[in-house]
Amino acid sequence: MNEIEIVNPAARSAHVPQFTEKTFYLEEFYGKSLLFALIPPSGERLSELDSLVKTLRELRRNQTRCILIASAGALPRLVKRLGRMLTTPPVTFNPAKGLRTRPYPPDSAVAQIWQGLRAGSIVVAAAETGDPDDLVIFAQELASRLRVFKLLMLERGGGLRDKDGAIDSFVDLRRIRRALGLETDKLRRATIRAARRALLDGVASVNLTTPRGVYEELFSFLGSGTLLTEQRYANVRQISIDDFEEVEALIRRGQNEGFLLRRSDSEIASLLPSCFGYRVGDEHLAGICALLTEPYRRERAGEITALYTLTRFLGEGVATELVREVVAEARKRRLRYVFACTSEERAARFFSRLRFGRARFRRVSPAKIAAAKWRGYEKARIAHLAIFRCDLD
């Protein structure tokens, strides 16, 4: 959502290091416990397990602890596909006998799971049931008992869908009732209710996706299903120095996609100290925005720049929340005004609609913002920019 510089795609790859989102997710999952539940009939086809096995292989190398829940019918295929990755025999549970006892699973079973995790980082737990509803409840009970970092419900229906039939990428507890209202399938409703209980019991997040889409759901910003969290995932704050590497990667991603102006390493570094991030729960960044003030100190002005939202989060209000926080920061710094420049039509429409109380963005001429902005700037490019100014006095 910034100035765009169109370059040859081949030139992009030659000058910009390839950004792999998987790296950041692996760092997030390091040392954590994830529980995967294959909801029948998921897992009854060997081909369905390819993405799951690929995911587990990455997580095992990453020292992430993984627990797999499957029905007794799917267990032989799962064990066969895991092969040497499975170093301990499956743990077997009978939900029909155990769910009414508390705590469930009992301490002895939890200790058995832990011993298996210590031995090989992957444990398979088989449920003596072929009933999808029973397995959903069992998976939720186990996830809640273990307080795992993430519960992944793998079923052929995949993620939840909104009223228009599109995948609803994110749902928090306040929106779960709406999701239930849109769902007519009995099993899907049971899965949503189980996800809600897991979140209330302390599981950090729940993902609903297909077995074939689990790798993309865990390791890409695009995702393939629905992420459910307890609280609204909006968490906008100024980034720390430990976030700089992730933010720099997002800026480069925005440049590669043609949404952000291409900058040198030093120019990117100058943006990082005043960059704000929109974080999904306690997990990863959904968007970024910087407030550049040093070049415009004499005029007490600030430039809103490097505003970028990941595709998966478009339409979720991420950009608005980021700019709101940047404007609040500009007020704290006693700036007279902030401005933004863009050559992208979508970004221009976005700024033209922005209003925070009395403060609103107005389209202005180049002469109405800090002259320092135009030093070394090509006049031909200025003519293609939409410039917006928001007065803060």
* Tens-digit pLDDT profile for residues 165-220: 888 888 888 888 888 888 888 999 999 999 999 999 999 899 999 999 999 999 88
Q: Are residues 289 and 357 in the same domain?
A: yes
Tell me, yes or no, whether 12 lies in a domain: no
Of 151, 160, 172, 158, give the one whose Cα is nearest residue 317.
Answer: 172
Residue linked to tokens 């003596």: 128
Q: What six digits make up the tokens of 381?
A: 């490019």
Q: What six digits make up the tokens of 300?
A: 């007490």
- Residue 102 CB partners (closer than 8 Å, separation 6+): none
pLDDT reading at 101 higher than 80: no
Q: Are residues 245 and 273 in the same domain?
A: yes
> Angle CA(319)–CA(12)–CA(261) in degrees, nearest 5?
35
Q: Are residues 219 and 282 in the same domain?
A: no
Q: Using an 8 Å Cβ cutoff, are 126 and 70 in contact?
A: yes
> Per residue in 69-98, pLDDT tens?
999 888 989 999 999 898 888 888 877 665
CA 358, CA 356: separation in Å to the nearest integer? 6
- Residue 235 CB partners (closer than 8 Å, separation 6+): 278, 279, 280, 281, 282
- Cα end-to-end distance, the chain, whole Å: 26
Question: For strand 236-238 and strand 275-279, is the pairing parallel, antiparallel, or unpaired?
Answer: antiparallel
What is the model's pLDDT at position 95?
Answer: 72
What is the model's pLDDT at position 93?
Answer: 81
CA 151, CA 142: separation in Å to the nearest integer? 10
Of 209, 245, 241, give the one whose Cα is nearest residue 21.
Answer: 245
- Stretch 49-55: mean pLDDT: 95
pLDDT reading at 2 higher than 70: no
> Per residue in 207-243, pLDDT tens?
999 999 999 999 887 788 998 888 655 678 898 888 8
Tally the domains of the chain: 2
Q: Which helix (H) or strand (E) holds 33?
A: strand 33-38
Q: Which residues is 172 bridged to in the sheet?
A: 229
pLDDT reading at 280 higher than 90: no
What is the model's pLDDT at position 94?
Answer: 79
Mean pLDDT of all residues belonging to the chain: 86
Structural domain range at position 307: 235-391
> Per residue in 108-166, pLDDT tens?
888 888 988 988 889 998 888 888 998 999 999 999 999 999 999 999 999 988 887 88
Tell me, yes or no, whether 10 lies in a domain: no
Q: What six digits make up the tokens of 319?
A: 């950009």
What is the model's pLDDT at position 223?
Answer: 80
Q: Which residues is 360 bridged to in the sheet?
A: 355
Q: Are residues 143 and 80 in the same domain?
A: yes
CA 145, CA 99: separation in Å to the nearest integer? 12
Q: Are residues 102 and 243 in the same domain?
A: no
> Per residue in 348-369, pLDDT tens?
999 999 988 888 999 999 999 9
Q: Are residues 203 and 251 in the same domain?
A: no
Tell me, yes or no, whether 326 lies in a domain: yes
Tell me, yes or no, whether 24 lies in a domain: no
Tell me, yes or no, whether 9 lies in a domain: no
CATH number for the domain spanning 90: value is 3.40.1160.10
Of 158, 152, 157, 120, give the one whose Cα is nearest residue 139.
Answer: 152
- Last residue within a domain, chosen from 172, 195, 229: 229
> CB 177: neighbour CB atoms within 10 A?
10
Confidence of residue 283 (pLDDT cuts 50, 70, 90): low
DSSP summary character for residue 61: H
Tell me, yes or no, whether 128 lies in a domain: yes
CA 21, CA 311: separation in Å to the nearest integer? 13
Q: Are residues 306 and 223 in the same domain?
A: no
Tell me, yes or no, whether 25 lies in a domain: no
- Stretch 30-55: mean pLDDT: 92
Q: Are residues 94 and 169 in the same domain?
A: yes
Confidence of residue 316 (pLDDT cuts 50, 70, 90): low
> Per residue in 264-276, pLDDT tens?
999 999 999 999 9
- Last residue within a domain, chosen from 190, 205, 229: 229
Q: Are residues 219 and 246 in the same domain?
A: no
Q: Using an 8 Å Cβ cutoff, are 42 and 201 in contact?
A: no
pLDDT reading at 60 higher than 50: yes
- Last residue within a domain, chosen from 199, 229, 259: 229
What is the model's pLDDT at position 233?
Answer: 54
The values of phi and psi at residue 248, to 5°, are -60, -40
> Angle CA(176)–CA(183)–CA(156) in degrees, nearest 5?
100
Q: How far is CA 328 from CA 37, 188, 379, 388, in A?
A: 43, 42, 32, 17
> Angle CA(305)–CA(294)–CA(340) in degrees, nearest 5?
25
Q: Are residues 196 and 276 in the same domain?
A: no
Q: Are residues 77 and 186 in the same domain?
A: yes
Q: Which helix (H) or strand (E) holds 108?
A: helix 107-120
